[in-house]
Structures are given as C-alpha cells and as structure tokens.
Chain A
C-alpha cells in the first residue's frame, strides 16, 4: 500500500494543523478555491459530449485537483483542524503507488490493474447492490451476485436487522449484524465454489467498531479482502473514519476510499465535480493509504449519476487520473430507475460504457437512487459488466462511446426526475434459488439486443 508509513504523521496533523471553524470550511475555503481553479485552468462542461475526448482538459483537471487538495487540505471535524499536505508528499505517494494489486485468495485471486484510456484490457468488475435488504433475502442476494460470471469482487447487501433485532448504529446489534453479514457472504462464496473470491466488506458497519469486529482471517474479513473508508462531503474527515484507515493498514487488508462528490452541492457543476473526484483519489492515496478509490459522484436532486452532466464528470475524471497516475479507481453507478425496468438497464449500460472507455474499473450498480430496501439485483450489474468487457475488447473509442451514450440518454434522460421504481429483489428473482425470473431475463435480453444494435459487440 502506498502510505501507511506516513499514517502517524498525518494523524498528528489532525492535532497540530491550522484551526478553522467547521462552518467556514466549505463556504469560505473549499468552494471559492474550487471556483478559482475552474477558471484558472479553463475547465468547461459541454452538454453535447457526455463522453468527451479532450486530453488537454483532462490534464488541466488533474492539475486543478492537485492544487485543490494542496491548497484546501483535509478537514478533521473532531479536532477542527486542517490536515495539510505538501507537493513533495503527493509526489512521493504517487511514486510509491502500485499500478496493480492481487486481491482475493487461492484460485479466485485476481489482479486489479491500472487501465489506460480506451484500454482493451477489461475493467475489474466489482458488483454490489449498494443497498439494504431484508434479513431473509440477505444470503440469497449474496449468492445471486456470486453467481455472476464476470464478478471479480463482491460488496454485499447491507443488513438492517440481525435475528430480528434492529441493528442500531454504534451499538452491540451492529457488531452482531456485521459478523452475520460477513459470514453470510463467505458461506455463500464457499457453497458456490468460489471460497477465495475478493470481497469489499462489510457495508453493515456504520461505526469503526463494527469494522474492527469483523477483521479475522479464519471467519471474517480476510487480509485478501478490502474495506472502505468514507469522506464527509466534501473534503472532511473525523476520528471515527481515521480509526478505520489506521485499522485496515494495521490489520493488513486493502483499503478503498469511498467518496461521492455531489453535483449541485459544494462542488458546483460538472467541472467542479470532476475536479473534486480526482482530488479525492489523491486524498485516498495520501491520507488513507488506499489501494483503490471508489467514486460515486451524484446529482444532488436525483441521487444518480447516469445523466449527462454526471457522465461528463466521470469521463473527464477518469481521463485525468489515467493520463497522470497509475492509480486504481472504480466507477460506481447510481441509477434513477429501479430493478426490472428498461430504463435501469439503459442507464447501467451508459454508465458502464462511458466509464470503461475512460479507464475506470467498474462497480455496478446502485438502483432506484440508492434509496429503497431490496431494490437492486445482480442482473443490472451483469449488463453493466458485459458492456464493460465488450467495449474494452472491441477497443471502442471515446467518440463511438459518446455517440452510443447520447442515443441511450435520448431514451431515458427526460425521465430522470420521475423514474419508475421497478421491483424488489424477490419480485424479479426467485429468491430461493437466487436466479432471475423468466420475465426479468427476457427484458435483460431485449435491452441487450438493443444495445448490441447500437454498436456494442457482445461475445455472447
């Protein structure tokens, strides 16, 4: 990992850095600095190209992101102080970063490798519903995802209850829920014959104690797995978060840096969202010692990232990161529509297509604005990952991807605000067998044919 050797120095800066009232940090420091940088580096959003190919602008976004992190720093809300980082430290961390890691264990071990723009190497595919499920469907859903052939890693559904007890954040029920979560997931992997499969776990842990409780190579989250540490939007952290990154490093598992820059919020528009996303990758590397960055920029009102203003940010951030670093970063899709709707399949395809050609690894797919229990299934993730593999293999260019993205957008973007909610998992999957219903599969095939017709060359 890149920076555990600096962890202590960084933690100390939480105590010794410049004092600032939290209320002033975003309006007086973050947003004005970002605004100036957008102007200085002449970053401009163009709604006509959801998948742009302006490499000069990509490099300027990289520079702006670097300046943003160095000039603004990272705010610790517990100490009310700013962790500041110098240019040389960013350079050192980037030099030390590895362009690839082997994750997962035994036969299921996989390499996650930095991708170039329009790379023909397929993206690393992490699948996740990103959502909570009823306890009775938890294991079934884990199974259903693990049955996906293209899955390289699993981030399982989140539990709200454990043996009938409501899980309460920070309390004992959370510790139990976290153990149940990882054991369900590991058991599903063993039953399916993929015991070593890479996992990002556990989402049920809302508190650092929940994460720490499941670190165990015999029965819990293994050192071949990864865990996430979030940032408080934007550019803020807290001791409970720093506790996680320190623990992950000390335990020896992989760290993923979880961030969702918000379009319409403190970042402003598409330009600021792209710059902030890139800057978060530097934060992940330097502050949290992250092996990969898990980005889900999203629209403040819709809670999605499949409309053109967000696709643009994703495409530009990917190109900036690819051209200027060897970092690893997953693009986490957030759709407006719910499971078993044509709209969700189209949204997922557009997200995966644009992300893949602009160098991202894939993390598919949060459905229904990531808001409603049981509303996500592996089938949309399958479509996203099949699209990702196909467009990489055929060497699709950004121009082609842009054209297809525009055609897909034309079919759904007007419905972003009032997207259909679709079904719950057990309504479009046979939960006992963890397989999609016939009707669901039919819709999948129909939309896949439609996308193939647009120029995506699926192998099967």
Chain B
C-alpha cells in the first residue's frame, strides 16, 4: 500500500477502495497531513483534466466522492492536529424563475473538491431562502447563479434582503452565470463576480481574506 496507490484510486474515482487504503496507510503510520496534501494535489490534477475535458463530469464526480471517502477516514486525525482546512462555507443556488442548473452544479463540484463546504439549494430558489439558509449554516458566502437577464434582479434582491435584515456585512455575496458581469456585480453591490467555475476557488479565498 502506498500513497501513490491511494492517489490513483482517487483519480479513478474508486471510493470503496480509497476508504480501505486510507485506513491501511494510517495504520502504517503515514502522516495524515502528508496524505491530505497529496490528495489535494491529485484532485487539483483531476480538476485540470476536467477543465480541458480530457475527462468528463461523471468521472470528476466520482473522484470527488472518492476524495470525500478518504477525507472522512482522515477527519478525526486531522481535526486533532488542526490540519483539516475548510476554506469557507457556501450556500449556492440558481435564482427564482431560472431552471438553468448546469453551471451551478459545476461550480458546486469545483468548490467542494477544493476544500469548501457547499450547501446546494438547487434551482428556482427564492432570494429569502438564500438568506435563511446562509443564517442556518453560518455561511461565509451566499453564491447565486442566474442564466437569464430576466432573473438577474433576484440577485439584487438577495442583497436587499440582507440589508433590510441588517446583516449585509456578515456574508460575501457572490454572483455568476452567463449574462452576469463585473459591471452587474458593481451595480448591485455584490462582493464578487466569477466568470467561470475554474477561477472560483481562488477568487473565493481571496475575497474572504479581504484581498
């Protein structure tokens, strides 16, 4: 059993085996921090393959699941050493009136595989639900997707509700989706606009760090 083998299992999306091998490696005394480091690199590599469509959505999904299975085994050890880094908590959904969910699903996957915890609210989601769910989860980010100019005003409504409740500054508000833009983000006072899913993890982290 080697760390390389575990990484290969993640790449192949084999959650069952990945879980077993992770346990074995821990028993052999391999450092969980070192393991998580390798696994993160593997997942970044898988992400690159997907970005170039050398692999497809079902494959990266399976890799994501295999990674989660391995991280579940590692969690107690990592928590003990303080090594389990959660980069941020996100509520994510497609705004009310909009059924275009593909982009949102990809964003979810990319964020999750990069160390964010994501609560997926689905599509056709009322602005108030975004806010309530963010409060319930104590989220860092409220991220909404809109694919139609006719549903973009719902992104503004999220911000207005936050202001009405006096909690605007508790969350970073992120927007995305084909018709949205930096200009729209500026206009409605969103904290962040992402052009695509690839760039999201880095931009989210930077926004949280206040850069």
Asked if residues B58 and A160 are in contact (CB atoms below 8 Å), the reply is no
Which A372-413 residues have a C-beta within 8 angstroms of B?
none
Residue picked from A27, A167, A169, A206, most chain B C-beta under 10 Å: A169
In the bound complex, CA of A359 to CA of B5 (Å): 48
Contacts of A232 in B (CB 8 A): 99, 101
Q: Chain B contacts of A174 at CB under 8 A?
A: 150
Confirm or deny: A443 has a beta carbon within 8 angstroms of a beta carbon on chain B: no
Q: Give A383 to B204 CA distance when docked, in angstroms.
A: 44
The proximity string for A residues 174-206 relative to B, scoring 1 for CB distances below 8 Å and 0 otherwise, is 100000000000000000000000000000001
A interface majority secondary structure: loop
Contact across chains for A168 and B57 when beta carbons are under 8 A apart: no
What string of 1s and 0s marks CB contacts (under 8 Å) between B23-61 and chain A? 000000000000000000000000000010100111001
Residues of A within 8 A of B122 (CB): 22
Q: Nearest B residue to A167 by beta-carbon distance?
A: B150
Q: Tell me whether A300 and B98 are in contact in the complex, defined as CB-CB below 8 angstroms, given that A168-B150, A168-B153, A371-B178 are known contacts.
A: no
By the criterion CB–CB under 8 Å, are B149 and A300 in contact? no
A372 to chain B, nearest CB (A): 9
Q: Which residues of A contact B98 (CB under 8 A)?
A: 169
Complex alpha-carbon distance, A234 and B120, angstroms: 18
Taking the closest CB of chain B, its distance from the CB of A164, in whole angstroms, is 14
Interface residues of A in 228-256 (CB under 8 A from B): 230, 232-233, 238, 240
A402–B103 alpha-carbon span in the complex (Å): 33
Interface string of B124-150 (1 = CB under 8 A from A): 000000000000000000000000111
The reply on A47 being an interface residue by CB < 8 A is no
Complex contacts, A263 vs chain B, CB 8 Å: 53
Q: Is B68 an interface residue (CB 8 A)?
A: no
Q: Which residues of B contact A230 (CB under 8 A)?
A: 99
Partner of A268, one of B56, B106, B148, B178: B56
Given contacts A169-B97, A207-B97, contact A233 B102 (CB under 8 A): yes
A435 proximal to B (CB < 8 A)? no
The reply to whether B149 and A166 form a contact with Cβ atoms under 8 Å apart is: yes
In the assembly, what is the distance between CA of A240 and CA of B62, in Å?
A: 31
Inter-subunit contact B56/A166 (CB<8 Å) = no
**How far is A287 from B198 in the complex, measured between Cα atoms in Å?**
36
A437 within 8 A of B: no
In the complex, number of A-B residue pairs with CB atoms less than 8 Å apart? 67
Q: Which residue of B lies closest to A207 (CB)?
A: B97
Q: Is the contact region of chain B dominated by helix, strand, or loop, or is it mixed?
A: loop
Asked if B149 and A132 sit within 8 Å, CB to CB, the answer is yes
Q: Does A170 contact B (CB under 8 A)?
A: yes
Question: Could you tell me if A206 and B149 are in contact, using CB atoms closer than 8 angstroms?
Answer: no
Chain B residues lying within 8 Å of A27, measured Cβ to Cβ, are 58, 61-62
Bound complex: CA A300 to CA B149 (Å): 21
A310 to B4, CA, bound (A): 36
A290 close to B (CB within 8 Å) = no
A265 near B102 with CB under 8 A, answer yes
Q: Is A269 an interface residue (CB 8 A)?
A: yes
CA distance A321 to B43 in the complex (A): 39
A residues near B51, Cβ cutoff 8 Å = 301
Interchain nearest-CB distance for A172 vs B (Å) = 12
Interface residues contributed by chain B, number (CB under 8 Å): 23
A160 partner, pick from B97, B106, B120, B150, beta carbons under 8 A: B150
Say yes or no for A106: interface residue by CB 8 A criterion: no
A455 at the interface (CB under 8 A from B): no
Residues in B whose Cβ lies below 8 Å from that of A132: 149
Closest-by-CB residue of B relative to A302 is B53
Q: Return B14 CB to nearest CB of chain A, in Å.
A: 14
Residues of B with C-beta under 8 A to A206: 97, 148, 150-151
Tell me the minimal C-beta distance from A233 to chain B in angstroms: 6
A232, B124: Cα distance in complex, Å: 12
Contact of B151 among A22, A169, A233 (CB under 8 A): A169
Within the complex, the shortest CB–CB distance from A176 to chain B, in Å, comes to 12
Asked if A44 is at the interface (CB within 8 A of a chain B CB), the reply is no
CB of B149 within 8 A of CB of A269, answer no
Known: A168-B153, A232-B99, A233-B102. A264 touches B57 (CB 8 A): yes
- Chain B residues near A22 (CB-CB < 8 A): 122
Proximity string of chain B (89-113) to chain A, C-beta cutoff 8 Å, 1 when within and 0 when not: 0000000111101100010000000
Interface assignment of A31: CB less than 8 Å from any CB of chain B = yes
A145-174 to B contact mask, C-beta < 8 Å, 1/0: 000000000000000100000111110001
Complex Cα–Cα for A441 and B45 (A): 47
User: Are B101 and A264 in contact, with the CB atoms below 8 A?
Assistant: no
Determine how close the nearest CB of chain B comes to the CB of A239; give it in whole angstroms: 11
Nearest Cβ on chain B to A390's Cβ, whole angstroms: 33
Q: Smallest Cβ distance from A104 to chain B, in angstroms?
A: 29
Q: Does A266 touch B at the CB level, under 8 Å?
A: yes
Residues of A within 8 A of B102 (CB): 233, 262, 265, 300
30 A-B pairs with C-beta separation under 8 A: A27-B58, A31-B58, A31-B61, A32-B58, A132-B149, A160-B150, A167-B150, A168-B151, A169-B96, A169-B148, A169-B150, A174-B150, A206-B148, A206-B151, A207-B97, A230-B99, A232-B99, A233-B101, A262-B102, A264-B53, A264-B57, A265-B102, A268-B56, A269-B56, A300-B53, A300-B57, A300-B102, A300-B106, A301-B53, A371-B179
Interface residues of A (CB under 8 A from B): 22-23, 27, 31-32, 35, 132, 160, 166-170, 174, 206-207, 230, 232-233, 238, 240, 262-269, 299-301, 371
Supply 10 further A-B pairs (C-beta < 8 A) apart from A35-B58, A206-B150. Answer: A168-B97, A168-B150, A169-B96, A169-B150, A174-B150, A206-B151, A263-B53, A264-B53, A265-B102, A268-B56
Which positions in B face A, CB cutoff 8 Å? 51, 53, 56-58, 61-62, 96-99, 101-102, 106, 120, 122, 148-151, 153, 178-179
Q: Which 8 A-B pairs have CB atoms at the shortest separation, nearest pair first?
A: A169-B97, A31-B58, A169-B150, A264-B53, A268-B56, A160-B149, A170-B97, A265-B57
